Structure 1
Amino acid sequence: MAFGDLLEKVGSMGLFQVIYICFLSIPVLMIASHNLVQNFSAAIPEHHCQANIQMNGTQSNFTRYLDPHDLLKVSIPLDGEQRPEKCLRFTDIQWRLLEDNNTVLGLKTEPCQDGWVFDDSIFASSIVTEWELVCDLRSLKELAQSLFMAGVLIGALIFGGLSDRFGRRAVLLWSLLMIGVMGTGAAFSPSFPVYCLFRFLSGVGLSGLLLNYICLSLEWVPTKFRAIVVSFQAYCSTAGQVVLAGMAYWLRDWRWLQLAISLPFFIFFLYSWWLPESARWLIVNNKTKVALRNLKRVAKMNGKKEEGEKISLEMLQLEAAESAPKASTHSILDLFRTPAMCRISCCLMFVSFSTNFAYFGLSMDLKNFGLNIHLVQMLFGGIDVFAKIICGVALNFFGRRTIQATSLILAGIFLLVNTAVPLDMHTFRITLVMFGKGCLAASSLCTYLFGGELFPTIVRQTGMGFITMMARLGGIVAPMVLMAGDYVLFLPLVVFGGAPIISGVAACFLPEMLNAPLLDTIEEVEERAKRKEVVTIRENTKEIVIQTIEGTRL
């Protein structure tokens, strides 16, 4: 008996699945908080060099009564926009500048020697103000974000294989605990290197959560509900951007904000002990006794206890025997050894990299929109929710491949068109960027659903770990492209727009998975590649006719 039939017996979408999906989705609300927290915790407020003389005017009677604005005028030169220079100050106090209409050229300046003065009207503190990551040290802010993304990449490489070997539940529990501990450690970091270390390890833990909440969800629900479940969890992830904006608005100190997004994971860790392991994984790995216990537990919760009692250990052992010879040790190399798996892996690699490369590039550049940073974060979260709702509906009508390719190509077009719009048309430029980001959000939703469906059970987590690794590689590279924007203003949008179009073309070579069952082995994937299944639904008779058409591989 196939696993899909076993799941129908115990209740394929009952009370158990509803509670299970909800419990897995709650931590998803906090994923965006860890991904994007540095928009706020590493914000760069307005700043200038500390003046040569004390700003409180205690040095002399003259400076005691001098207006702070005038004191700043004689101490700090102005930039091209007539604002105080951020990284330079006068070598000597220039009292002549206090005279009306007096402009003196060629005055000697020097880099900041005594630190900086930061504007605390928006952020009480950030890692930038605490460790003075400005001027020559400005790139360290981007380094911290890149190290976090590197942690997610390493975590994907580690936890993908571990999940296939030791189970989804064990890795999920460890990941939740790791995020809580390392995130809390980051909040109490005494120095920037220690902060980077904790953020890196938080990224490793976050990767385990990203991999396993989707996989556990897909393996406990029937085919027809997969898109709905993944869409719901994508909404939770996107809503997390709005949650982050609200938390950052009320918690202006970076340490309190970091603590607020980390402590809930201890609660998630405790209640996740209730979540049972994937029965599909247990059967494929010949752990039939545990699988039987879990299936009977599900049947009881779904009000099908009698049906659950009919499932015997022998039935599960027979199902396991069909997969056991193929369930030996697998590695990431299995994603490329056979033609069909290689095509799937390579196409998803391009799709995942470019989606997250452009998405995080836009998401981490909020300051350049000219609006309140909290408002921009909420607007970005709102457009993502809207885009994912449309995507979730469209996936069940137009299929995965069509939506994946279309969303990527449209995102690239919106961003490339933006480069031709005059800089003074702020509203139009922001609108185009938001549409592009919405398309990338839709692509992200589709990628996780599509990847979970395309990879077989035996290497599903290895495959998902691989595409997650590529996604985070995109997240690592994105801050570097943003830094290039300081020299060539339009370059980031050109790069962020070109990458999705290329990967959108690659997505056209993936097989369609609408209404297709999940496969368990690599051999089944290769067999599927030799034929094309056309599913026709006749609404008048409520029948599903499946025609198998032999054809060549793509």
Structure 2
Amino acid sequence: MAFEELLNEVGGLGKFQILQMLLAFPPLMMVVCHILLENFTAAIPGHHCWVRILDNDTDSGNDTGTLGPEVLLRISIPLDSNLKPEKCRRYLHPQWQLLHLNGTFPNVTDLDTEPCVDGWVYDQSSFSHTIVTEWDLVCDYQSQKPLVQFAFMAGMLLGGFLYGYLSDRFGRKLILRWCLLQLAISGTCAAFAPNFLVYCFLRFWSGCSAVAILSNNSMIVVEWTRAQSKAMVISVITCATGIGQIILGGLAFVFREWRTLQLVVSVPFFVFFLSTWCLVESARWLIITNKPAKGLKELKKVAHRNGLKNAEATLNMEGLRETMKEELEVAQTNTTLLDLFRTPKLRKRMCLLAFVRFANTMPFYGIFINLQHFGNNIFLFQVIFGVLSTLARSLLFIVMNHMDRRPTQMLFMFLVGISILANTFVPQDMQILRVTLGSLGIGFIAASITSYSVHSFELIPTLLRAKASGLELMVSRFGAALAPLLMTLVVYQPILPWIIYGVSPIIAGLVVFFQPETKNLPLPDTIQDVENHKNFLRKVNEKEAYIKVTKL
């Protein structure tokens, strides 16, 4: 709370904060491209077995003249249950007798077939090259494709723990710079990966850095922002993720070859790494970690950039130590991840936050799986998804200006659940209504995740914020992993997964009620601020009353 007084002196929302947001926006947009990259680089195009007769445009030898590709395909590849060419088997020998049969014919299942021993032919109408066509991750090898996304998610799990701890230990800016460079190197190298295992390892390494770029960029900006403007700033920052999805759809449409697309979304991170020299380390973190001299230096730098020369002249070490006396005393002790659960009120906040994050993430990926209702054009699909997310996050700021944190979050989580449950019982032939409800669900869940981000920032003390962010991201990855697994329940009851997706955010919305309200309150800096929440509120109220009396 005390830091809020210093922040008001140097400017809580001025030119400096706007510059910080502008610097944070591009890497946030592009890191989303990395998270969703396998939607395009690992796309599975149409395919069938390669057979020599299709390449040679062979004459039949049966007085039928030169045969076209469709006819050659018919005599070389059997049809599946949908009367489409089989993807994983071919006839042992060309079946010339099939040329003389019209319509359906009997006993074709008795014809000898074999696996695709010579490889596959891929449809290149949508993608010229993907990792699936590069390393033939189809048929008996199709189970290897999910390993890529799993490797990236596993990297995010490890990165959340590792870089969350390092960010609280060595600073937001240092770890952010390292992770930007790490993602630039690993992403660029992935574009030249010689084999599948090397590619998976590089994607794992990219995932480690991606999670820290998301969290540290946001922390640096928010910890320099006054209490009244935090909701607006977080809403603006989260819009970057929606814009990133739109950008990815456009880039994937232009660059259809996976190595080129991988390179295009990775090289900009070298530029982002160089641009971080303009970033200013969080003075809030510096002071809380017993580095008051460096914190004072950064405060003066911010006052200068905001044009407050008087504040720059009056800031001194004595005044800082007096203002932050309690925080500096606490700073003498080191913290660990276990400190998030040592004290009762902070432990309660963390457990409730973890459950809400999990319940938010699971239906998000559940809806994402069902987005084929938008059509077969996955490029347009990606853009629509990004537009809906960006629009919802933009409108959320207006709602949060008129409502407190808890009712806002509860409202959108209830709307997420209701839209999913309603869609569950809409007949399949009512496509327009299903698409509309699915679109509303996407918008509501984007708004719900953003309102959660605002509330969680305001509930966790600065001393442990990076560690808590890493833990929350880990919980969200579990939700992301569970979402597709729930779809296996359709063998028992087709609507069962969707009922779970719909009920979970409604239950989590009720859980939000047990969290404290934080609207317009300063960020807590220490564990004591959380545990002595009533005293914290009393100090805030006394300060506001004093300001009002002074103005009168």
Q: Does 1:227 align with 2:231?
A: yes
Counterpart Cα distance in 2 of 1:490 and 1:185? 43
Residue identity (%): 42
1:11/1:370 CA distance change after superposition, 3 Å: closer
- Alpha-carbon distance, 1:390 to partner: 2.0
Deviates more, 1:194-203 or 1:64-73: 64-73
Which residue matches 1:422? 427
Deviates more, 1:162-171 or 1:398-407: 398-407
**Contact in 2 for aligned 1:341/1:526 (Cα 8 Å):** yes
**Contact in 1 for aligned 2:54/2:69 (Cα 8 Å):** no
Deviates more, 1:526-535 or 1:385-394: 526-535
Counterpart Cα distance in 1 of 2:369 and 2:134? 20
**Contact in 2 for aligned 1:36/1:364 (Cα 8 Å):** no
Which residue matches 2:106? 104
**Contact in 2 for aligned 1:57/1:64 (Cα 8 Å):** no
Find 1:261's aligned residue among 262, 265, 273. 265
Counterpart Cα distance in 2 of 1:250 and 1:486? 39
Which residue matches 2:483? 478
- Alpha-carbon distance, 1:53 to partner: 3.4
**Contact in 2 for aligned 1:283/1:316 (Cα 8 Å):** no
| Unaligned stretches of 5+ residues in structure 1 | 537-541, 545-554
Which residue matches 1:36? 36
Which residue matches 1:362? 367
Find 2:532's aligned residue among 527, 538, 543. 527
Which residue matches 1:76? 77
1:121/1:522 CA distance change after superposition, 3 Å: same
Give deviations 1:65-119, integer Å, cap 9, x for gaps: 2221111111222222221122222233222221132503232333322221111
| Unaligned stretches of 5+ residues in structure 2 | 542-546
- Alpha-carbon distance, 1:263 to partner: 0.7
Find 1:377's aligned residue among 382, 394, 398. 382
Find 1:276's aligned residue among 280, 293, 317. 280
- Alpha-carbon distance, 1:478 to partner: 3.3
Deviates more, 1:361-370 or 1:496-505: 361-370
**Contact in 2 for aligned 1:145/1:476 (Cα 8 Å):** no
**Contact in 2 for aligned 1:187/1:256 (Cα 8 Å):** yes
Q: Is the partner of 1:55 in helix, strand or coil?
A: helix
Deviates more, 1:79-88 or 1:516-525: 79-88
**Contact in 1 for aligned 2:460/2:468 (Cα 8 Å):** yes
Counterpart Cα distance in 2 of 1:364 and 1:271? 36
**Contact in 2 for aligned 1:161/1:461 (Cα 8 Å):** yes
For normalisation by structure 1, the TM-score amounts to 0.91
Alignment of 1:52-201 (within 5 A): 53-58=53-58, 65-101=66-102, 103-105=105-107, 106-107=109-110, 108-201=112-205
Q: Is the partner of 1:122 in helix, strand or coil?
A: coil
Alignment of 1:319-338 (within 5 A): 319-327=323-331, 328-338=333-343
Which residue matches 1:288? 292
Counterpart Cα distance in 2 of 1:45 and 1:500? 35
**Contact in 2 for aligned 1:415/1:436 (Cα 8 Å):** yes
Q: Is the partner of 1:330 in helix, strand or coil?
A: coil
- Alpha-carbon distance, 1:491 to partner: 5.2
**Contact in 1 for aligned 2:186/2:203 (Cα 8 Å):** yes
**Contact in 2 for aligned 1:52/1:75 (Cα 8 Å):** no
Give deviations 1:322-367, integer Å, cap 9, x for gaps: 2234232212211122221111111111121222232234335655
Counterpart Cα distance in 2 of 1:139 and 1:167? 40
**Contact in 2 for aligned 1:41/1:257 (Cα 8 Å):** yes
Alignment of 1:306-317 (within 5 A): 306-317=310-321
- Alpha-carbon distance, 1:391 to partner: 1.5
- Alpha-carbon distance, 1:543 to partner: 6.1
Counterpart Cα distance in 1 of 2:437 and 2:97? 48
Higher helix share: 2
- Alpha-carbon distance, 1:534 to partner: 13
Q: Does 1:449 align with 2:454?
A: yes
1:28/1:531 CA distance change after superposition, 3 Å: closer
Counterpart Cα distance in 2 of 1:486 and 1:75? 34
Q: Is the partner of 2:114 in helix, strand or coil?
A: strand
**Contact in 2 for aligned 1:408/1:440 (Cα 8 Å):** yes
Give deviations 1:248-301, integer Å, cap 9, x for gaps: 110111111111111111111101022111011111112111111111111111
- Alpha-carbon distance, 1:212 to partner: 0.8
Find 2:506's aligned residue among 491, 501, 508. 501
Counterpart Cα distance in 2 of 1:170 and 1:526? 30
Amino acid at match of 1:133: L
State how many pairs are aligned: 540
**Contact in 2 for aligned 1:39/1:366 (Cα 8 Å):** no
1:316/1:61 CA distance change after superposition, 3 Å: farther
Q: Is the partner of 1:138 in helix, strand or coil?
A: helix
1:391/1:210 CA distance change after superposition, 3 Å: same
Amino acid at match of 1:87: C
Amino acid at match of 1:431: T
**Contact in 1 for aligned 2:222/2:230 (Cα 8 Å):** yes
1:346/1:407 CA distance change after superposition, 3 Å: same
CA RMSD of aligned residues (A): 2.6
1:148/1:483 CA distance change after superposition, 3 Å: farther
1:500/1:135 CA distance change after superposition, 3 Å: farther
For normalisation by structure 2, the TM-score amounts to 0.92
**Contact in 2 for aligned 1:415/1:432 (Cα 8 Å):** yes
- Alpha-carbon distance, 1:9 to partner: 1.3
Which residue matches 1:16? 16
**Contact in 1 for aligned 2:365/2:483 (Cα 8 Å):** yes
1:113/1:496 CA distance change after superposition, 3 Å: farther
Find 1:350's aligned residue among 337, 346, 355. 355
Counterpart Cα distance in 2 of 1:369 and 1:476? 23
Counterpart Cα distance in 1 of 2:438 and 2:265? 28
Which residue matches 2:544? none
Alignment of 1:383-394 (within 5 A): 383-394=388-399
Amino acid at match of 1:255: R
**Contact in 2 for aligned 1:42/1:141 (Cα 8 Å):** yes
Which residue matches 1:551? none
Counterpart Cα distance in 1 of 2:38 and 2:486? 17
1:406/1:241 CA distance change after superposition, 3 Å: same
Counterpart Cα distance in 1 of 2:534 and 2:91? 70
Counterpart Cα distance in 1 of 2:300 and 2:536? 36
1:113/1:467 CA distance change after superposition, 3 Å: same
Find 1:517's aligned residue among 522, 530, 534. 522
**Contact in 1 for aligned 2:57/2:68 (Cα 8 Å):** no
Give deviations 1:428-471, integer Å, cap 9, x for gaps: 22221121121111111112221111001111111111111111
